[in-house]
């Protein structure tokens, strides 16, 4: 295997046009945030029941994807697979930018961003949210050190150690994110220990799909060679992760269906939930799982770069739909204040009551999209100014073993 040469990308009209477009989206998102910040959260679709809205869906999605994006680097550094080592710097970069994009949305959706100072200086270690503050900051620091060991020649001998700690930390981080829902016993749509491992596998799937799209787009736009060996290995791995998510989702719902106390929420999500049922079956199951698996493993479409890109995009959309169902759908199902009894209240009502309804406003959606644009903008600027991309990933340059 020849020595891998990493270079920056050259500036062009397309580069500045892309950056300008992303900047415009970020500006619109900033205006949307100002609208919500100035007027208060009553201008959003959130209620006393639905307290985590569309911005939280975007934020959790990006945070989960950040952990999964680092998976490519971990395979190369921790498990010694040489083919993945040239992809490691871009993998680490995406892990950082995705997490920063998600945390930016999260902070701006707090209503009082200045209260973050309190969260960072006063810790309640019985709270999973307090633990996540530590996990997020630790992840950023460890991945930054990991990138340094990869990109600084004299530090290369420490790459394996740094990669190992980053790998373990990201598993803990995603476990913490999934445990936010697993520990919430008051919500019947949450309260499941399987949430933690399910979120880990979800991160593998979503993160790899984003990495694959960014990799193919970067090499096509910069006219750099990208061989079939790399693309084939990554798309096969993506298929395994998509199937893994399907296994955990099916296990969670089958387990809930076995327990009588969860029959109500399962009926709500799987049959009577309206938009949540549609997003689960059509958004996640059909578009986000079955269609990508067919595209990735069919003998004809599995060899097409365009179809692999389409499959990756569908995995991302399906993952977003699943996160929406988990986050919003879990809140939309009424609280069981007195299990076994029917609570009569003119204020709350049933599952069809406006109190439990949620329709994301344009401002909420624009803030979330701006977080994605910020992630992409940081990635574009980084690959322009630092050597994250190999000059060539042609089959002759890559060791398939």
Q: Concatenated DSSP letters for 171-231?
A: HHHHHHHHHHHHT-TT-TTS--TTHHHHHHHHHHHHHHHHHHHHHHHHHHHTT--B-HHHH
Q: Please report the pLDDT score of residue 350 as a whole number.
A: 52
Higher pLDDT, 18 or 120: 18
127: number of CA atoms within 13 Å, CB side?
9
Cα gap 313→201, rounded to integer Å = 17
Res 1 pLDDT > 70:
no
What does the chain come to in residues? 401
Convert the pLDDT of each residue in 334-385 to its tens digit.
776 666 666 655 445 555 555 567 889 999 999 999 999 999 999 999 999 9
Res 399 pLDDT > 80:
no
Convert the pLDDT of each residue in 33-54 to its tens digit.
999 888 888 888 888 888 888 9
Yes or no: say if 350 and 22 are a contact pair by the CB < 8 Å rule.
no
SS (H, E, C) 1-23: CCCCCEECCCCCHHHHHHHHHHH
Task: Give percent of the chain with pLDDT exceeding 90.
Answer: 53
Residue 30 neighbours by CB under 8 Å, 6+ apart: 370
Q: Please report the pLDDT score of residue 170 as a whole number.
A: 92
Residue 158 neighbours by CB under 8 Å, 6+ apart: 149
Q: Please report the pLDDT score of residue 90 as a whole number.
A: 94
Yes or no: say if 109 and 55 are a contact pair by the CB < 8 Å rule.
yes
Question: If you average pLDDT over residues 172-177, what whole number do you get?
Answer: 90
Q: Which position has the token pair 């959706």?
A: 109
According to DSSP, the β-strands at 389-390 and 6-7 are antiparallel
Count Cβ neighbours within 10 Å for each residue of 100-113 and write b for 16 or more, e otherwise.
Answer: bbbbbbbebbeeee
Convert the pLDDT of each residue in 106-137 to its tens digit.
888 876 767 777 777 777 777 777 788 888 98
Q: How many beta carbons lie within 10 A of that of residue 84, not counting itself?
A: 23
If pLDDT is split at 50, 70 and 90, which confidence band does 216 have?
Answer: very high
Yes or no: say if 110 and 116 are a contact pair by the CB < 8 Å rule.
yes
Residue 332 tokens read as 């939309």
Q: At what angle do helices 195-221 and 54-69 cross, to 10 degrees?
A: 80
Residue 38 tokens read as 């100035």
Which whole-number Å values give the CA distances from 336 to 169, 186, 351, in the listed order? 35, 8, 11
Cα gap 29→105, rounded to integer Å = 10
CATH code, residues 6-336+368-397? 1.20.1630.10
Q: Please report the pLDDT score of residue 190 as a whole number.
A: 84
Cα gap 70→80, rounded to integer Å = 15
Q: Please report the pLDDT score of residue 308 as a whole number.
A: 95
Closest CA to 380 of 25, 5, 35: 25
Burial tier of 306 (Cβ tally within 10 Å: 0-12, 13-18, 19+) = exposed
List the domain boundaries for the chain. 6-336+368-397
Q: Please report the pLDDT score of residue 280 as a whole number.
A: 95
Count Cβ neighbours within 10 Å for each residue of 205-229 and write b for 16 or more, e otherwise.
Answer: bbbbbbbbbbbbebbeebebebbeb
Cα gap 177→64, rounded to integer Å = 8
């Amino acid at each position: 295997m020849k020595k891998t040469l990493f270079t920056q990308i050259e500036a062009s009209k397309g580069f500045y046009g892309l950056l300008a477009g992303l900047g415009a989206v970020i500006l619109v998102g900033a205006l949307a945030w100002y609208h919500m910040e100035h007027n208060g959260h009553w201008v959003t679709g959130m209620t006393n029941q639905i307290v985590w809205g569309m911005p939280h869906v975007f934020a959790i999605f990006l945070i989960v994807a950040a952990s999964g994006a680092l998976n490519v680097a971990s395979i190369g550094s921790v498990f010694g697979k040489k083919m993945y080592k040239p992809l490691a710097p871009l993998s680490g970069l995406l892990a950082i930018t995705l997490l920063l994009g998600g945390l930016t949305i999260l902070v701006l959706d707090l209503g009082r961003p200045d209260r973050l100072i309190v969260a960072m200086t006063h810790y309640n270690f019985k709270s999973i949210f307090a633990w996540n503050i530590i996990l997020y900051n630790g992840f950023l620091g460890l991945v930054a050190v990991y990138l340094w060991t990869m990109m600084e020649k004299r530090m290369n001998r420490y790459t394996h150690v740094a990669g190992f700690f980053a790998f373990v930390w990201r598993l803990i981080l995603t476990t913490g994110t999934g445990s936010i829902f697993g520990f919430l016993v008051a919500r019947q749509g949450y309260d499941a220990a399987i949430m933690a491992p399910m979120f880990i596998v979800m991160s593998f799937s979503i993160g790899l799909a984003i990495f694959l799209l960014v990799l193919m787009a970067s090499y096509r736009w910069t006219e750099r060679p990208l061989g079939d060996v790399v693309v084939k290995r990554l798309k096969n791995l993506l298929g395994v992760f998509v199937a893994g998510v399907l296994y955990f989702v099916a296990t969670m719902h089958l387990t809930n269906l076995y327990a009588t106390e969860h029959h109500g929420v399962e009926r709500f999500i799987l049959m009577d939930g309206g938009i949540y049922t549609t997003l689960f079956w059509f958004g996640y199951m059909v578009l986000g799982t079955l269609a990508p698996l067919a595209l990735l493993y069919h003998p004809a479409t599995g060899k097409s770069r365009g179809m692999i890109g389409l499959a990756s995009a569908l995995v991302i959309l399906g993952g977003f739909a699943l996160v929406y169902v988990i986050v919003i759908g879990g809140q939309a199902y009424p609280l069981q204040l007195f299990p076994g009894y029917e609570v009569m209240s003119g204020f709350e009502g049933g599952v069809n009551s406006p109190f439990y309804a949620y329709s994301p406003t344009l401002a909420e959606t624009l803030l979330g999209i701006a977080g994605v644009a910020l992630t992409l903008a940081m990635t574009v600027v980084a690959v322009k100014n630092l050597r994250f991309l190999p000059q060539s990933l042609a089959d002759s340059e890559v060791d398939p073993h």
